[in-house]
Structure 1
């Protein structure tokens, strides 16, 4: 199968689709900014990762919104998505309940997992969404979901998302091999944000594009440059259609952007590109593009941002008002 370094020219999208992509990206960014605010609100004095309303590590996805918006636009709640330890943008784009997700992040009883999982272990049967803190862990479960969908005679598919560093893990290659061998309805997505924690991708990975690895398994591979949401949407459309038609898996790599640190509290002293990062933010860039096309103006942008803010703040308040789990129930809902 051919591997494309960059995607073919994207087909013309309808105004409604383009606006929806922008709305999804804005909602995701608004959510991450709110989580950032709440996470740091009571971590002082100094920075104590164990303190506050949201204790523990926090990995935010600001800058990677085009991947989630472009891919998930082709999915329904019947399709499955497995994500990484940086999952919120994908969960939001796939329709995970904002209130329940936020309560889970806050460790509350009203959460998706009754507060047992936290932000790296979101699990939502209603939308077939899951994520994990283990690198490349989401790829093998996606195969199981895809296999089950096919055995049931449906056109449902699984989408497995991971970072570029995980493409060097055994689970990545084993999953591509088995999915190709069994022609499973899976779309594999790699988010290349240039950094595996603090390691540059070109230090850790022997090739310039993980999409080139698709050819080793006889499946299509495509790399999207410039964090372009419409190009992601087009590539995902091709891969999803192929999977639904029973033609097997595809691999998409998107050169995206980690706008903030690997985790909150990361000083990022290792990054040589920090000065140029704000200028690569995909949301203002896409907003300007839609303004030029006459699809957005100041009033419509304000309306979209106000709606996103209202939804996010409602979810934050729901989480804060949800009860903290009783410690005596720590093993409830954990083992079956």
Structure 2
């Protein structure tokens, strides 16, 4: 989710402040009231507070696009761990039935939390699990393959051919979360072997240098600029103002006044405010 938000153009500062929103910093995109799951940006509808629950939401976004006759496609991403949930198959069924322009992207990194896909999925692959919807297996460690697969999938859906499945075969070097060292269910040798032979960044770097598209010194300069941008974003996130109790009752309704509850006494109608307005008022 984090890399997807950055890939779709989200600002690094927004990303970092979102991570630091656990400490209640107001300069995050949810103003200190969310967590690392709540990221949004232009053309990026964000994560979900419930892990693996985004498939029906993505299907709904694509359905809204279809109803509005928009030439858009919704790429709904989920991991192999979420690929066995019933709601995914419900979503796929209705997507095919109504010819919804949605691409279901399974990022198969081999492990859902600490469970190997071999122990969690009866099928060998994820892209061919439903007979009524076409699927494509993609080397998720090949930057160019992923780009071309995404381009083709978009053209497929925009052509009115309905939904599609993309299985991106990739790998997760680190643990699933800070509580997961990532070494209790696999060996360090396995991780290092993948890093040595299949690393996506190193492979792409070698391709562009070999093709004469960029010099190695230019890539080092790009790395330096990116590290500086990330460091500055982290510093800004850490030093942001802490949220106050004034933000507790914001964002409860969107452009809708609270309903009066019957049989209550001393009821005071609260005006609708959002966090952005409250933060501006607090300076």
Does TM-score exceed 0.5, indicating one fold?
A: yes
Pairing partner for 1:176 from 92, 96, 104: 92
User: Does the 8 Å contact 2:140/2:146 carry over to 1?
Assistant: no
Deviant stretches of 4+, over 4 Å: none
Does the 8 Å CA contact 1:104/1:116 hold for their aligned counterparts?
A: no
SS of 1:253 mapped into structure 2 = strand
Once the two structures are superposed, residues 211-256 of structure 1 have per-residue CA deviations (whole angstroms, 9 ceiling, x without a partner) of 0114x2x222001136211111111111111112222111000110
Q: Are 2:115 and 1:199 aligned? A: yes
Deviation at 1:327?
Answer: 3.9
Indicate the RMSD between aligned Cα atoms, in angstroms.
1.8
Give the alignment partner of residue 139 of structure 1, picking from 19, 37, 55.
55
Q: Deviations over 1:254-283 (max 9, x none)?
A: 110101111124222111323424313211
Does the alignment pair 1:270 with 2:181?
Answer: no
Cα pair 1:242 1:248 within 8 Å, conserved: yes
Deviation at 1:94, TM superposition (A): 0.8
Worse overlay, 144-153 or 303-312: 303-312
Partners of 1:96 and 1:129 within 8 A in 2 = no
Unaligned stretches of 5+ residues in structure 2: 255-283
For residues 183-262 of structure 1, the aligned pairs below 5 Å read: 183-214=99-130, 216=131, 218-225=132-139, 227-262=141-176
- Is 1:159 the counterpart of 2:81? The answer is no
Q: 1:313 aligns with which of 231, 234, 239?
A: 231
TM-score of the two chains, using structure 1 as the length reference? 0.69
Distance across 2 between alignment mates of 1:271 and 1:319: 34
Q: TM (normalized to structure 2)?
A: 0.81
Give the 3 Å change call, closer, same or farther, for CA 283–314 of structure 1 in structure 2: same
Match of 1:74 in 2: none
Deviation at 1:293, TM superposition (A): 1.3
Which stretch shifts more, 266-275 or 89-98?
A: 266-275
Q: How far apart are the structure 1 equivalents of 2:74 and 2:241? A: 34
Q: What is the CA-CA distance between 1:169 and the residue it aligns to? A: 0.3
Structure 1 residue 321, shift from structure 2 partner: 2.6
SS in 1 for 2:221: helix
**Which of the two has higher C-alpha Rg?**
2
Pairs aligned (count): 247
Distance 1:237 1:100 in 2: 27
Contact 2:5 2:44 in 1 (8 A): no
Find the aligned partners of 1:313 and 1:246 in 2 and give their Cα distance: 44
SS at match of 2:91: helix
Contact between 2:8 and 2:44, CA under 8 Å: does it hold in 1?
no
In structure 1, how many angstroms separate the alpha carbons of the residues matched to 2:96 and 2:68? Answer: 19
